[in-house]
Every structure is written in structure tokens, then in C-alpha cells.
Structure 1
């Protein structure tokens, strides 16, 4: 009787580690989104980048579903959740973050402001799962919010800027999309969750992309094409496959901790690819938020 129990207990840490590893692959893919968006906007309108990436990813998702002979649409009972995912990660995050970068928010600055994303995702998970975290969780969330608020105010003479408000919208949008996607991925493979989301969005993204492609100027350059291809194929589709699978396999509380590395990875990409410089205040703010978010991830259960 004792032997099966030992086997079951040893399997749980293995599954959790696999989930964390899968989630980190997703984070690694997402970490290049901001630099790629900046590259894409060198040749394409910000609205075209935000909507067009979803349209191209939707065509890829539709093809994958047809090749694997899976249903093109999810059960109707799940459509509200898919609508929330679509509003969060198909429209909200790409549009808000792209406009913020277009208005002058540097890649490093955007990475620091969105460093609260793991905490925001945890808050959404708490609300959706009706959990009751300890007071330490809320204290850490508050401290992280204060750190980000202080950072943004010191960067803009004591008042928030439009890019910061847009990045806040991007943060909230992504948190909602991540949470709903993780919930669905418990019963549906992660690649199907993001594929169904993109396919359901195609009736909006495809015609909007066609109109924007005609109405806005386009400059074809290797950097612009590469950046657009990255945000469409990797950030909008491929990255979600291991990300949702990791959250489902390892749990939001454990696998979600891999998001702590995303701001630092983005800072590295910004420095390596774009030569972007960031001062001590950016590094201090990033480290402070990482500490706060780490506490929330450990204290939420």
C-alpha cells in the first residue's frame, strides 16, 4: 500500500518541474516581443502591427487545426472565456503596448512597468478561483505597485505619462488573458486554446488588417519584416503553446513564477539588439518589483 503512494508523491514534483520548464520556454518567447514590436513599427503602422500579427497567427492556427483534424471552434459554453482571452492577449496587450512604444516608451522602461504582470496574473487567478491568500500576498502586491508608481513618476516630472497608462492597460489585459487561458488549458491542450482564440478573432482581425494595409503607409525593410514575423508567429502563437501547457501542468502559482525572469530578459534583448541604455533607477525598480512579485507567488496559497 505504501509503494504506490511513494510513486504518486514522486510524480508530482516531476510534473511541476516539467510545467515550470515549459512555462519558461513561453516566457523566453515573450521576452523578445517589445524589441520585435519596435522593429516592426519601423515599417508598419502600430495599429497594423497590433491587429495584423493576430490575423497572421490566426491563419497559422486555422491551418494547424485543419491539418490535425481538430474542431475549428470550441464548445459554445466556453465562448465567454475565449472572448476574455481574445480581448486580453489578441487585442488588448498588443495594441496597448504597441501604442506605448510608438509614443516613446523605451523598451527597458516598458519592461519595468510591466514587471508587475506576474502579480496581476496572480490577482486575477485569485479572483477567478475564489482563493484566500495570506495578508503577506496583498502587502507585497501593494509594495510592488508603489515601486512602479514611484519609478514612473520620477521619470516624468511627478505625473504619469500616456505611455505609462497604456502599459497599465497592457498589463491588465495580459493578466486576464493568461488567467482564462490557464483555466481552459486544464481540460484542453494549450495549443488548441490559443488556436481557437485566434480563429474566433479572425472575423475581426482579418478585415481590419486588410483595411489597415491599404490605408496606412508601409515601408518594407528586413528589420520591419523580421520584427512583424516574430510578434505574429512567436509572440502571438508559438509562445503560448508551452506557456499555457506549463501553467496547466505545473500550476499557475508554481509555473507562473517563471514570469519573474521576463523583465530582465527583455532588458538584455533591448541592450543586445537595440543598444538601448538604462540607468540605475531602471535596474533598482526592476529588482524591487521582482522581489515583491516573488513574495506574492510564494504567499498566494
Structure 2
């Protein structure tokens, strides 16, 4: 029997935007939490530890709800998702946050909607209207322009790592959203985590610190957040939203992430958020409205 959302594309699209928005809210805490964690955890260990914790939880969910194994054709896309969002993005951002503040790195997240939309066209077969690309490019140029105005010479390694992180994440988002149409939103991230488990779990054991006695409570809480929320729960909503509302369209919600992230960085980490940062964020937010209108 068809559901209401299946019979009504508009209702399905609205649910996609709601799920996507929840996912963005959850992801907004990722970089500030990672910034706190890498102050006391090695970034490579943090990457494999968060993936291992999330993967074990994901396997429990798959077993609890008796999910069928993916088909042979679905394993390759799951590997792309694992390399992009389970390992690639967390590792590259953790490495970048050794050179730049979370407030600075969050600005680069403004490039994610464009990257996601591009891969949505290449991998998801979507065809947004030409005006959509104008708004997406404008938002991305605002973000890049701000980064250049801050002087990339101060930390070129950190900015390069963030740009690479955006690319692999955009690919992982688009591939996962496409796969969610047949496999299911939460199933995609759980199976992608399961694919990575044979690599990340042994690595976490090998790279674990000799002693955890000096690790503070904020660092442990940050590890818990990026493991449970950033690596698992956020993707449940995010992939469902992308599949329901369209990769390119709902992907523009990521332009809200810098705003929420900058607020968290200022509140939790007491990092300075300049007037320039806020101005860029407001201008980028204006672009998401235009991109949303012409996404289809």
C-alpha cells in the first residue's frame, strides 16, 4: 500500500527538508567537538575510535532489526560511503583542526552544498535548474573569499585538508543518498560503518594511548558525541532527508551548518567569532533560500 508521502511528492519533499535540517543540527556540533577531542587524543586514533564505536552500535541495530545483507551491487557504493564519511572526512578534519580553529574550519563547510550538488548530478542523476547553480556558486565564493581574506599562508595545511575533506564528504553524501533510495537511510550508514569495522577496530586497538588517566571529561564527552551523534544518528536523518527531498536541494541546508557551528564554537570553546564571519554566514544563508527555490 502506498503511503501518503509516496502519493504526494510535496509531502515527501517537506519531510526530506525536516529530516535534513535535523541532520544539519546534529552535524553542527561535530567540528567543535572534534576540536576539543584532538587537544587530548591523537587525530588518527580519534578517527578510528569514533568509527569503531559507531560501527559496533550500527551492527547491533542491524542485528536487532534483522536487516537483510546488501546485494552484490550495493557493496561498492557502501565502500565509497565508508571511505568518504566514515574515514575520509573525520580523519581529514581531525588533522586540519591541529592547524586551524574550529571556527575557521566551519566556514569551509559552506562549500559542502556545492560539492554535494555536483556529486548529486554525477552520481544521483539530478538536474537542478541553471539558476540553482548561480546561488550555489555564489555561496561557495563567499566562503572561499572569506578564507582568502584571512590569509591562507597562516595555515595552508589546515585549509588544504579542509578542502579535501569537503570533496570526499560530498561524494560520500551523494553516494549514500542514492543508495538510501533502495537500501534505506539508517541502513546505509550502519552497513557503511560495518564495512569499515575490520580496518578501524584493529587500528583503534593498535593506536590507543598507553594510558587514559590524563584524558579529561570534556575530551571523553567529545569522543562520545562524534561517535554517537556525528557518526551515526546524524546520518540516519541526513541520508533519509537527501533521499526524500533530493540530493542537490536538501544538500543546501548544509549552508546553515556554519551558523550553528560558529555559535557552538563561541559558546563552548570561547573562540572569537568576528564580524566578518557573521557577515559571510548571513550572506551564505541568503543563498540557500535562492538555491532551494530553483533546485528542481
2:281 and 2:185 map into 1 onto residues whose CA distance is 30
What are the within-5 Å matches in structure 2 for residues 1-80 of structure 1? 11-71=8-68, 73-80=69-76
Choose the corresponding residue for 1:161, options 153, 156, 172: 156
Partner-residue secondary structure (3-state), 1:74? coil
Deviations 1:244-288 (A, max 9, x none): 112222332443333232111111111111111111221222233
| Cα displacement (A) at 1:144 | 3.4
1:179 and 1:292 map into 2 onto residues whose CA distance is 21
TM-score (norm 1): 0.89
Number of residue equivalences:
293
2:5 and 2:176 map into 1 onto residues whose CA distance is 27
1:68 and 1:227 map into 2 onto residues whose CA distance is 28
Deviation >6 Å, runs of 4+: 7-10, 157-160, 215-218
Cα distance change on mapping 1:142 and 1:241 into 2, 3 Å: closer
Deviations 1:189-221 (A, max 9, x none): 211110100001111101111111057987321
1:14 and 1:150 map into 2 onto residues whose CA distance is 37
2:228 and 2:5 map into 1 onto residues whose CA distance is 38
Partner-residue secondary structure (3-state), 1:194? helix
Contact 2:181-2:243 at 8 Å conserved across structures: yes
Contact 2:241-2:250 at 8 Å conserved across structures: yes
Q: Which residue of 1 aligns with 2:242?
A: 247
Q: Which residue of 2 aligns with 1:4?
A: none
- Residue 101 (str. 1) matches residue 97 (str. 2): yes
Choose the corresponding residue for 2:280, options 259, 274, 285: 285
What are the within-5 Å matches in structure 2 for residues 1-301 of structure 1? 11-71=8-68, 73-103=69-99, 105-156=100-151, 161-214=156-209, 219-301=214-296
Single out whichever of 255-264 and 195-204 deviates more from structure 2: 255-264
1:89 and 1:55 map into 2 onto residues whose CA distance is 13
Unaligned runs of 5+ in 1: 1-6
2:87 and 2:122 map into 1 onto residues whose CA distance is 22
Contact 1:35-1:270 at 8 Å conserved across structures: yes
| Cα displacement (A) at 1:91 | 1.1
Single out whichever of 21-30 and 257-266 deviates more from structure 2: 257-266
Contact 2:128-2:248 at 8 Å conserved across structures: no
1:197 and 1:9 map into 2 onto residues whose CA distance is 26
Cα distance change on mapping 1:138 and 1:159 into 2, 3 Å: farther
- Quick check: which has more Rg, 1 or 2? 1
| Cα displacement (A) at 1:67 | 1.7
